[in-house]
Structure 1
Amino acid sequence: MVRLAVRLTNPIGGERIHDPFCHLGEFLVGAVDHVRTRCGAPAKLKVSGGTVGHLGWLAGMNLTLHDIATREVRVEPPLYRWDTQRRFDLVLTNPPFNMSDWTDGYHVGDLRWRYGIPPRHNANFAWLQHALALLTEGGRAAVLMPHGAGSSENSRERAIRAAMVEDGVVDAVIALPPQLFHSTAIAVTLWLLRGRGSDGDDDVFFVDAHAAGTMDGRNHRVLREEDLERITAAYRDRSTFTSGDVLSRAVARDRLRDDGYVLNPGRYLIAASAPVDL
């Protein structure tokens, strides 16, 4: 997942990269490794993250082991108050899915909720809007979401999804297989977002790779190098694309509007079988 996200967002030297829920710093390490592999030493590359409890110490140690000196890791509550002075060129994150009771009220009136106040029972669209609020103009983000976020019928979530599409900040949504994580078997999607004011198309690009990968044991699926290459090529070419178990196409905003702003690739791509909303 880290390799896929960094290939799709293609970090470069000199950028400010942030993960608002950085776990052990995996995305930050992956971004630096990507730059080092392609550009040599990551000149002026700055990485930062937020995390909780003892993970802050472990994330810092992980970054040290990978010789990443220009860094900052803050231990703070999830979705902590937004520092309006902090902006980043790239945000990469795998936040907690379907997090309930995420707000105690201090978020009311928060400028992050440009597209609507997320429901108290589920923080998915809080994380998506938080990532967008952290971006510079022209910045980009990759945010992992549970598959169901793209088709939630909750009135607030549907309204936020619609407003994000209409404002042109949703670049692409990529459906990935279930069982990619040892901690959960649910299917996931990777949302690629762009900061307000970015140049982009009026459409949303969809990639359906829910059948990609291979099983590593009974309960764990992995994405192979060829899977990563096919997904990356589909996104890069941004055209109707079929390669093995990876399908893709751009969908115009008018069509998304007619379909109630559903953002699950299986809705628009014909595959052998479709993932189940969870």
Structure 2
Amino acid sequence: MKMDFVLANPPFNQDPWGAGAVKDDVRWKYGTPPDSNANYAWMQHFLHHLAPNGRAGFVMANGSMTTTAHNEGDIRKGLIEDDVVDCIVALPPQLFFSTGIPVCLWFFDRDKASSGERDRRGEILFIDARQMGEAVSRKQIRLSDEDVAEIARTYHAWRGQPEAGEYEDRPGFCRAATLEQVEAQGFGLSPGRYVGAAETVDDEVAFETRMIELIERLSLDLSLADELTAEVRSALGAVGYDV
């Protein structure tokens, strides 16, 4: 069975998952996943069932982006070299009630040159959304509708969908990297490796305002220091010591 679209939230880091029973399965094009972690079994399962122009989006634990345990690094390398990885999104921690571990989104696309969109072959989009969201309790972070819309708009713009506007790299948030650049990073897919640090903008008005506040505070402190010095001199003079 082949699918045009797959959306999934599989169990994170499932251990064990019964790898021995499907050791030579046709789905393991890039290698048999270790029984100690089912993440790359799920990925290859999704990919195997995609149609030639199919797309998949799924949630994974963050370790999936960089792990080299067993043969997982080789499997990830194969997925990247076959150019099926379309986008990686790093999300904030504590999004789920059941676990506080940070997670990420993976997007596969079997046809990056699909009609109606930009030819994205040889590229992967990285989005670092770890600083998004707001705390709704001590144990949970929630992405706002605006956060979700910004992530989606960025991805759609990079894909070349006209209604999403023009795409541009934004330091600290998103960057489109070539497969050669990903290879130079050891085939690690953590967005933080690619997006860099956010640009800082000097705010002259805010700086001037802050300086005025600091000068006023310093003047007050100096005045208090003068008063305390006078009191100390007076007290010492009263007992026969001149300072």
Report the equivalent of 1:220. Answer: 140
Report the equivalent of 1:160. Answer: 75
Greater percentage in helix: 2
SS class of match (2:173): strand
Alpha-carbon displacement from aligned partner over 1:239-274 (angstroms, at most 9, x marks no partner): 44439xx711111101111111001101111246xx
Q: CA deviation at 1:154?
A: 1.2
After superposition, the Cα gap between the structure-2 partners of 1:259 and 1:155, relative to the gap in structure 1 and judged at 3 Å, is: farther
Alpha-carbon displacement from aligned partner over 1:79-129 (angstroms, at most 9, x marks no partner): xxxxxxx11111100000000111252211111111111111000000111
SS class of match (2:195): coil
Alpha-carbon displacement from aligned partner over 1:122-160 (angstroms, at most 9, x marks no partner): 000001111101111100000101111101121411000
The one-letter code of the counterpart of 1:268 is Y
Give runs of aligned pairs for residues 77-88 of structure 1, distance below 5 A.
Answer: 86-88=1-3
**Aligned residue-pair number:** 184
SS class of match (1:189): strand
- Contact 2:19–2:34 (CA under 8 A) maintained in structure 1: no
Report the identity percentage: 39
The one-letter code of the counterpart of 1:226 is E
SS class of match (1:262): coil
Alpha-carbon displacement from aligned partner over 1:58-87 (angstroms, at most 9, x marks no partner): xxxxxxxxxxxxxxxxxxxxxxxxxxxx11
The one-letter code of the counterpart of 1:183 is S
Which protein has the larger Cα radius of gyration, Structure 1 or Structure 2? 2
Report the equivalent of 1:207. Answer: 127
Structure 2 alignment gaps of length 5 or more:
114-119, 159-166, 199-243
SS class of match (2:22): coil
The list of structure 1 runs, each at least 4 consecutive aligned residues, that deviate by more than 4 angstroms after superposition, is: none
Structure 1 alignment gaps of length 5 or more:
1-85, 273-278
Q: CA deviation at 1:185?
A: 0.6
Return the TM-score normalized by structure 1.
Answer: 0.63
The one-letter code of the counterpart of 1:254 is E
Report the equivalent of 2:179. Answer: 253
Q: Matched residues in 2 for 1:103 and 1:142: separation?
A: 24
Report the equivalent of 1:242. Answer: 170
- Contact 1:240–1:247 (CA under 8 A) maintained in structure 2: no
Q: CA deviation at 1:198?
A: 4.9
Q: Matched residues in 2 for 1:222 and 1:271: separation?
A: 23
Return the TM-score normalized by structure 2.
Answer: 0.72
- Contact 2:34–2:70 (CA under 8 A) maintained in structure 1: no
Q: Matched residues in 2 for 1:104 and 1:256: separation?
A: 29
